[in-house]
Amino acid sequence: MGIIVEQKSEKVTASVKWVLEDPKQKEVWWPSEELKKMAWVSDESIYEQADKDPTAFWANRAREGLHWFKEWDRTYERNPPYFKWFVGGRINASYNAVDRHIKTGRRYKAAIIWEPEPIDEPARVLTYYDLYREVDKFANVLKSLGVKRGDRVGIYLPMMPEVQIAMLACARIGAAHSVVFSAFSADSLRSRLKDAEAKVLITADGYYRRGKVLNLKAEADKGVEGTPVKDVVVVRRAGLDVDIVEGRDHWWHELMEDADAHCEPEAMDSEDILFILYTSGTTGKPKGVVHTTGGYLTQAYWTSKWDFDIHDDDLFWCTADIGWITGHTYSCYGPLLLGATMLIYEGAPDYPEPDRWWDIVEKYGVTIFYTAPTAIRMFVKCGEEWPRKHDLSSLRILGTVGEPIDREAWLWYFHNIGGGRCPIIDTWWQTETGGTLINSLPGIGPFIPTVAGRSFPGMRHAVLDENGNKVGVGGSGSLVQLSPFAPGMLRGIYKDPERYKELYFSRYGEEIYYTHDGARVWDEMHNIRLGGREDDVMKVAGHRLATAEVETALTEHEAVAEVAVVPAPHEIKGEVPVAFVILRKGRQPSEELAKEIIARVTKAIGPTAKPENLFFVPDLPKTRSGKIMRRILKSLMKGEPIGDVTTLMNPEIVEELKAKVGYVEAGLT
């Protein structure tokens, strides 16, 4: 495309004095004139305009971007800590993602390009018209299984078009979907299906991962035991010979054969639940984050359009699995609402070789590419010869999400994948927020390694100190969101209102949403650098995981008396869990036993949560009231100064633990 992102560091270095003191921060890029010209937004005044009246701003966006069967009566309603958007409005997500486009020139445009993992298997392309027929048919299938408006449906599928079809079919008839990551274990699936009270589960026989076929149906069979699931729909993906339970299990293709290709979309209330997505909180039990319809769709539409500057001739590829919020918003709803063409890929990024992703970018001419720092770090390790084998000149915009991106990874991505032409949109957001909240926009900038950017127009954030005062330029504290909250924000935790209040609206009161992230105000423009979680939540390869969840799984082993799990830094995954285990009396530590205990985590959560290391210890650092001081264990693993230990009940244990983990204070090596 020949779009050059010019380096104009003077602008920021001139306006923020302390930036000058850090030579690395001369790395500030701004969009070129060409990039600005083609961008949907390139005029900075958009921020000010939106901030004057965010409610009116979002009302205009909702009207302009979406089709409403009936317009809302009130745009925003507050009842702290609850709030609603587009109250009284009637809308349907699948109508907006599919039906609208088949009435336009996009009717035969590719909606989804699916790249299977086996290299000799042809891609599948679904046009918007194909998608329309499949969604309607599957919506009728769900109805025939007794699924009604207001019900919940579980989805446990790998990345393949049936995922989007199933999600949109649920939305069409007003059932809430609850997708469970296909690499999660049967136990994880079961607890989610139970909590959501899902009637039906949609799964596949198996799928490909690094050249192997994984038997998903076997996990699903275990996962539905003891849940309210009455029917299981199985997509034939891998041709596995799986057990079919008479009366409960049905092949997708057989049900679809007889299904009618027209299904009237339900006119949903703007505040009806669109989906529940489970994520890790600070306790052992994952929480069902509830997203409703009108507000979520509005935010999905506009953040997709402006963050990634998606145009009709773009090919957008978000590499996130559908099991995560990023998959929901940017591998399903967002691009489809825009009538864009998106790519999805079934398999591993480095299969059969570490250039698989770059091969895909070249083969299809991907123009916008959105991934996670953990993947970038993996590619940095593989070496730049892999992307260099491919023509990546189709790329125009790059994105990243999931955890803070370090300067080295940012620059590698910028130069080796983006060829120094493409802005990197570092999007900060959460499962709870439904869509992105903080990032620079491609036509406005700036693009600064490790600095995500500003609040999206019409959203308000602040960084607060312990006393709830706003910090100024250069200051650090807790990131919060201020009212009016973004339209796509969670409306609750499924069946647990107390937890919703306690987690998000207790730290700074009922009018301020606490993000649980630390942040720093970077400059006068209010660009933000994120500093990671302030609670006991880790990001393992970009996946959110509570230390408490891993601890719960470990304590299930009968040899374990007490356990503490903390994150340790990891070169590629960012963070990994490590476990400190006190054994029950009479049990002897051994490698075999460590493996057995660790296997509990794979069973309870899945392989992504497996502790990287397990230390058998005689004791854990505790306060006088008996509370485990995880902070000390964290510092031990990070090589940070341990600080004062005199207030501990058992300060002597710290030296022993230092020896055990091979502690070296950073900076002393």
We find the least distance from the C-beta atom of residue 592 to ligand AMP, in angstroms, to be 34
Q: Measured from the CB atom, is 84 or 543 closer to ligand AMP?
A: 543
The three state secondary structure string of 89-126 is CEECHHHHHHHHHHCCCCCCCEEEEEECCCCCCCCEEE
Beta-carbon contacts of 213 under 8 Å, excluding residues fewer than 6 positions away, are 206, 207, 238, 240
Least CB distance to ligand AMP at residue 544 (A):
3
Helix (H, G, I), strand (E, B) or coil at 428: strand
CA distance 184 to 113: 25
Question: Which residue number, 336 or 490, has a Cβ lying nearer to ligand AMP?
Answer: 490
CB 528 within 8 A of CB 438: yes
Q: Rounded to the nearest 5°, which phi and psi values hold at 537?
A: -115, 135
Nearest distance from C-beta of residue 425 to ligand AMP, angstroms: 9
Q: How far is the CB of 326 from ligand AMP (least distance, A)?
A: 7
Tell me how far apart the alpha carbons of residues 268 and 74 are, in angstroms, rounded to a whole number: 16
Give the chain's count of helices (H) and strands (E): 24, 30
Question: Closest separation between CB of residue 289 and ligand AMP, Å?
Answer: 8
Nearer to ligand AMP, 401 or 632 (CB): 401
Assigned token pair, 203: 């799964």
Cβ 256 vs Cβ 273: under 8 Å: no
**CB of residue 515 to ligand AMP, shortest distance in Å:** 6
CB of 255 or CB of 512, closer to ligand AMP: 512
Residue nearer to ligand AMP on the CB measure, 199 or 543: 543
Nearer residue to ligand AMP within complex by CB, 503 or 620: 503
Long-range contacts of 604-607 (CB under 8 A, 24+ apart): 604/185, 604/187, 604/188, 604/549, 604/552, 604/553, 604/556, 605/184, 605/185, 605/187, 605/188, 605/545, 605/549, 605/550, 605/553, 606/181, 606/183, 606/184, 606/185, 606/188, 607/183
Please give the Cα distance from 30 to 649 (Å, whole number): 54
Binding site for ligand AMP (CB under 6 A): 279, 325, 401-404, 426-431, 452, 515-517, 530, 532-533, 539, 544
Q: Which is nearer to ligand AMP, 350 or 535 (CB)?
A: 535
Least CB distance to ligand AMP at residue 271 (A): 22
Q: Which helix or strand (DSSP H or E) is residue 566 part of?
A: strand 560-570
> Which residue, 50 or 538, has its beta carbon nearer to ligand AMP?
538
Q: Cα separations (Å) of 600 from 191, 297, 541?
A: 16, 38, 20
Closest approach, Cβ 431 to ligand AMP, in A, equals 3
d(CA 417, CA 73): 47
Min dist CB 519 to ligand AMP, Å, is: 9
Tell the smallest beta-carbon distance from residue 632 to ligand AMP (Å).
22
Backbone φ and ψ for 101, nearest 5 degrees, come out as -75, -25
Judged by beta carbon, residue 32 or residue 188, the one nearer ligand AMP is: 188
Tokens of 534: 């302030």
* Widest distance between CA atoms in the chain: 73
Nearer to ligand AMP, 96 or 374 (CB): 374
Taking alpha carbons only, the member of 471, 434, 124 closest to residue 303 is: 434
